[in-house]
């Protein structure tokens, strides 16, 4: 029994009182999947409606801008959901690329299959709600940071709230998530060090 199934069974019990023994129809449709570091999980143009729960490792969602540069939209790590939102929400080919930054193990389900399961087992519905709300909450937090904080403040925020994460991920991806260039992030770090010395 994988650790992530146990986690999700517990979640389903907490949310809806569904007993672990009654979750077989759901977990029968999930697959375990391993990714190597730097392996691409979803490519630009893919249409599979993948929804995954990350058991181990960090993933990065990014897009290729018109000028060819990459822009990182977000990172996701252990015990978080990751999904190709273009395909799931809009049924369009993914404009984003989802790639493992470290060796990753995840549990995935196809969203079409999940919808079928939910038709016959509406008792799992709270789980879908939970993951949508979680994603919405995270997105709103990020939006909030963009309208209320300067780049330096957003970086400080990230350091206090996700120090472990910042240390596991190359700075250039952090910079991109913050909406700035790596050069600028480097200067921010320097300014922070200089202030610290006083």
Partner DNA sequence: GGATGAAATTAACCTTTGTTAATACACGAA
Partner DNA sequence: TTCGTGTATTAACAAAGGTTAATTTCATCC
Interface positions with a copy of itself (CB under 8 A): 63, 65, 71-74, 85, 89-90, 122, 125, 128-129, 132-133, 135-137, 139-140, 142-144, 146-148, 176-177, 179
**47 is a site residue for DNA (CB under 7 A):** no
Q: Which stretch binds DNA (CB under 7 A): 10-18, 80-88, 91-99, 177-185?
A: 177-185
Task: Give the x/- contact pattern for DNA in 133-172, rule: CB under 7 A.
Answer: -----------------xxx-----------------xxx
Q: Which does 54 bind (CB under 5 to 8 A by kind): a copy of itself, DNA, none?
A: none
Query: Between β-strands 104-110 and 50-56, what pairing exists: parallel, antiparallel or unpaired?
Result: antiparallel
Name residue, tokens 């992030």. 185
Cα(53)–Cα(94) distance, integer angstroms:
18
Specify the 3-state DSSP secondary structure of 179.
coil
Q: Which does 31 bind (CB under 5 to 8 A by kind): DNA, a copy of itself, none?
A: none
Name residue, tokens 């129809």. 25
**40 is a site residue for DNA (CB under 7 A):** no
Q: Which does 10 bind (CB under 5 to 8 A by kind): a copy of itself, DNA, none?
A: none
**181 is a site residue for DNA (CB under 7 A):** yes
Q: Which does 172 bind (CB under 5 to 8 A by kind): DNA, a copy of itself, none?
A: DNA
Q: Contact, 96 vs 86, CB < 8 A?
A: yes
Residue 73 CB partners (closer than 8 Å, separation 6+) = 61, 62, 63, 96, 177
**97 is a site residue for DNA (CB under 7 A):** no
Q: Which does 176 bind (CB under 5 to 8 A by kind): a copy of itself, DNA, none?
A: a copy of itself
Cα(34)–Cα(105) distance, integer angstroms:
4
Cα(98)–Cα(181) distance, integer angstroms:
21
Cβ neighbours around 62 below 10 Å, total: 20
Q: Which residues of the chain form contacts with DNA (CB under 7 A)?
A: 150-152, 170-172, 179-191
């Amino acid at each position: 029994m994988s650790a992530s199934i146990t986690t999700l069974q517990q979640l389903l019990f907490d949310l809806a009182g569904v007993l672990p023994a009654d979750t077989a129809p759901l977990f029968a449709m999930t697959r375990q999947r391993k990714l190597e570091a730097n392996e691409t999980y979803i490519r630009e143009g893919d249409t599979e409606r993948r929804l995954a729960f990350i058991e181990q490792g960090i993933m990065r969602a990014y897009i290729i801008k018109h000028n060819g540069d990459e822009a990182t939209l977000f990172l996701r790590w252990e015990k978080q959901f990751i999904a190709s939102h273009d395909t799931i929400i809009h049924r369009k080919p993914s404009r984003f690329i989802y790639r493992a930054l470290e060796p990753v193990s995840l549990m995935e389900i196809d969203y079409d299959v999940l919808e079928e399961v939910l038709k016959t087992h509406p008792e799992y519905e709270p789980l879908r709600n939970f993951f949508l709300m979680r994603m919405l909450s995270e997105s709103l937090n990020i939006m909030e940071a963009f309208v209320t904080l300067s780049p330096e403040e957003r970086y400080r925020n990230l350091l206090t709230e996700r120090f472990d994460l910042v240390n596991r991920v190359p700075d250039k991806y952090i910079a991109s998530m913050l909406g700035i260039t790596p050069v600028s992030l480097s200067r921010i770090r320097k300014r922070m060090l200089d202030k610290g010395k006083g």
